[in-house]
Amino acid sequence: MNVVIVESPAKAKTINKYLGSDYEVIASFGHVRDLPPKDGSVDPDADFAMVWEADGRGAKRITEIAKAVKGADKLILATDPDREGEAISWHLLEALRDKRVLKDMPVERVTFNAITKQAVQDAMAAPRAIDDALVEAYLARRALDYLVGFRLSPVLWRKLPGARSAGRVQSVALRLVCEREAEIERFRKREYWSLVATLATPRNESFEARLVGADGKKIQRLDVGTEDEARAFEKALNEAHFAVSEVEAKPARRHPYAPFTTSTLQQEASRKLGFAPNRTMQVAQRLYEGADIGGETVGLITYMRTDGVDVAPEAIAGIRDLIGKDFGARYLPGAPRKYTSKQKNAQEAHEAIRPTDVRRHPRDVAKFLEPEQARLYELIWKRTVASQMESAELERTTVDILATVGGLGSSLGRKLELRATGQVVKFDGFLTLYTEDRDDESEDEDAKRLPAMTVGEKLAKQAIAASQHFTEPPPRYSEASLVKRMEELGIGRPSTYAATLQTLQDREYVRIDKKRLVPEDKGRLVTAFLENFFARYVEYGFTAALEEKLDLVSNSELDWKALLRDFWRDFAAAIDETKELRVSDVLSALNDSLGPHIFPDRADGSNPRICPTCGTGALSLKLGKFGAFIGCSNYPECRYTRQLSAPADGTGDGPAGASADGTRRLGEDPQTGLEVTVRDGRFGPYVQLGEGDKPKRSSLPKGMTPAGLDLERALALLELPKEVAKHPESGEPILVGIGRYGPYVQHGRTYANLEKDDDVLAIGANRAIDLVVAKESGAKARFGRGGAAPAGRSLGEHPTLGGPVTVMAGRYGPYVKHGSVNATLPKGKNPDDLTMDEAVPLLAARAEVSGKGKKPARAKATAEKPAKAKAAAKPKAKTAKAKAAKATPKD
């Protein structure tokens, strides 16, 4: 019996069918070991010795695999064909050797790019050893990410309250988003005018031409800057005679796009299908692992984490055969197309993402797939087939037109030049099947078709239009365009893009607004801090150069320990420099860096840093227990505070009628006669009743904006907390209110958070009772309105670490569990809706935080933690955990 190890149970089931009874295929469920999320797991003082540990799930899986391997004839490691897959095989091999179950058993490593019978059988016929260079590149990357996360994040916690963490790639991606926002804020719009003539040929065929010159001078897009200039040209054109002065037609060819890589798939799925990158990868994973197509389980696409654009020769032959049969010989090039990656740090030579069998037409397999799977498969199929089709043949035509004003002998005569451009598709080629979408591009004017014209032909004027325009700021990044920019800069890897974007959102560094990434104040603070005190480590060039060095490691051209020593020398020095850094130094640097954002110029030209309340104090950035805010220098005499972002003044996006300090009057309370206002505070917007030392206030719940708030809703908020029901058993009141962690219902000392669909102002008695009773009973009742997400809902196996990931119902609210790591769900997140892609970054963030401040006794530095040391450390860890639990109440 031969034992084959793959990563997921779905693959195990499919591959077992292909290999037959002589093979037992077992799933590792991803990684079985990892670096413990605490300080000391990577020891620079011991030449970067790494301590690997299997948690309860991992240890159990290793034991089960070891039991299966005993007595086997051969062990075959068949994990994914990338660096992470190579690392999983290495971890398994090391763990099995530690258990001494292999002895003289032969061990083979095989990889296949598609889960099809032929691909699996071919892989089994061509085994190899584990690639040490790929493993070392994994070890170097893992050590780098660990050292940055566990050494830089504590600096943030100490010097910048409210910041959650920093990451090697995450921080650079965040910088891109923040820099784009700063560009938008610095942008000053500029007025310009365009002049367009609608003309007609003698055959009464209409077209448009744009003014491009006057009296021998060229006119660029922004040259006509005032209405007076535009009206003068408009008058002249209305009096002019038009004739064709030149016609130029040039043939052109548009070539098809390369088949998908991970990055381009994420971009196109975002544009065409509206999928977030993490959703794209989730759906693609299922297509790769296989689906039941007419009684046969088969993988539908090749491996979806790749930088490669090459396609196997046999696949190209199949594609060309399909093109010839379905589209005709005219659409088939004379020779197969060969693509090469333009990315200089592309990974190992993997195939592009393509259908495993192009003969499986999307319309034929759609009935076997879920809708999202069918749509993504169709996108991949079309892109793949189009990549081998004939180029489109175009004709680009430019027509220059002379507009003569007045007689040729007149002193008032003028010559104005206009230009019309157009494009004709002579042969559609690959465009008959596929066109690629674009981010942030307006309609291509060249796509307009022009009527036939000859030089000297007279043209009739139909209309002259003078239009006012204003320049626009650069657009915010969409998830697709940010992935594209990261790829262009060489930042990160295909498998990291989706996780990086999700982490930025989970840590509330950015938010998605109208499909665009908007940096939160917390994210801008982190970026400004890193740019001021760790500038090198958020430089695009430095991060890309590090990726290139990791590639050299994977190619056996650079020693991985030398890479780490070189990085650590400068990074440790930068960390040490912050030990003497005072909070006042941080504030001073951030006040300067974020000045244009925090204190934008006012329309009336007054000093934006003058306190609007006392009129004499200076506003500046302050750091509090819960993060940064703006406060007055005259504190405590003046207690003015607001959030980091500048308040609305009635001329921007904020609510009209707001004063300089963000206060807007809503009206008077009919019962007390006191004024009701909505204000901008350090912890967010809130409503206030009257003035005085302790006026009644209420925060605005998530999703409610100051601009949309009226007096009626403000008064309803000010009534909170209020009774909404009686407890069915105790008869005591159940209250609804808004607290530090959002809307809640309360019975005695029991608090239950409202779900995202609950309206704090409209929650009924039954719903309130249901939430409280569910919380008191350990949340074994319903989650949310739809009913039923009981405690222990499984999300499946962790995609990289392995082991079950489960949504649990805890005493203090729902959380997600993986091994010994428990991560609380974000405010407003319905446990019913939680996906694996959302759970993984929550668990990773929690694992980082749980290691903060722990200083375990350092054992002898080895690549593996000795069994005795692990056993000895257990009681201490348990005691420390118990102390921490006793001292710190849970959220």
Write out the two tokens for 431: 């465009």
Q: Which residues, listed in sequence order, are joined to residue 821 by a DSSP beta bridge? A: 818
Helix (H, G, I), strand (E, B) or coil at 679: strand
User: In this structure, how many other beta carbons lie within 10 angstroms of the beta carbon of residue 190?
Assistant: 11
List the 804-810 sheet strands across, edge first.
Answer: 793-797, 804-810, 813-818, 821-824
Tell me the torsion sign for CA atoms 433, 439, 443, 447: negative
Residue type, 236: A
The residues, ordered by sequence, that sit 6+ positions from 771 with a Cβ below 8 Å of its Cβ are 745, 752, 754
Residue type, 711: L
Q: Are 676 and 662 in contact (CB under 8 A)?
A: no
Tell me the torsion sign for CA atoms 380, 381, 382, 388: positive
Q: Are 352 and 259 in contact (CB under 8 A)?
A: yes
Cα Rg of the chain, angstroms: 32
Q: Which of 138, 146, 288, 303 is catalytic?
A: 303
Residue type, 193: W
Tokens 């674009």 correspond to 438
793-797 vs 516-519, strand pairing mode: unpaired
Q: 841: cis peptide before it, omega within 30°?
A: no
Give the Cα-Cα-Cα angle 798, 800, 802 (nearest 5 degrees): 45
Q: Distance (Å, rounded) from C-alpha 637 to C-alpha 634?
A: 6
Residue type, 71: G
Q: Distance (Å, rounded) from C-alpha 284 to C-alpha 265?
A: 10
Give the Cα-Cα-Cα angle 840, 844, 848 (nearest 5 degrees): 170
Question: Is 303 a known active-site residue?
Answer: yes
Nearest to 268 by CA among 175, 103, 384: 384
Tokens 């003497």 correspond to 580
Tokens 């240890």 correspond to 59
As to burial, measured by CB atoms within 10 angstroms (0-12 exposed, 13-18 middle, 19+ buried), residue 625 is exposed
Nearest to 3 by CA among 80, 105, 103, 98: 105
Q: Distance (Å, rounded) from C-alpha 433 to C-alpha 324?
A: 14
Helix (H, G, I), strand (E, B) or coil at 69: helix
Q: Distance (Å, rounded) from C-alpha 55 to C-alpha 52?
A: 10
Q: Which residues, listed in sequence order, are joined to residue 619 by a DSSP beta bridge? A: 632
Phi first, then psi: give them for residue 311, nearest 5 degrees. Answer: -130, 140
Q: Are 792 and 806 in contact (CB under 8 A)?
A: yes
Instruction: Report the catalytic residues.
Output: 303
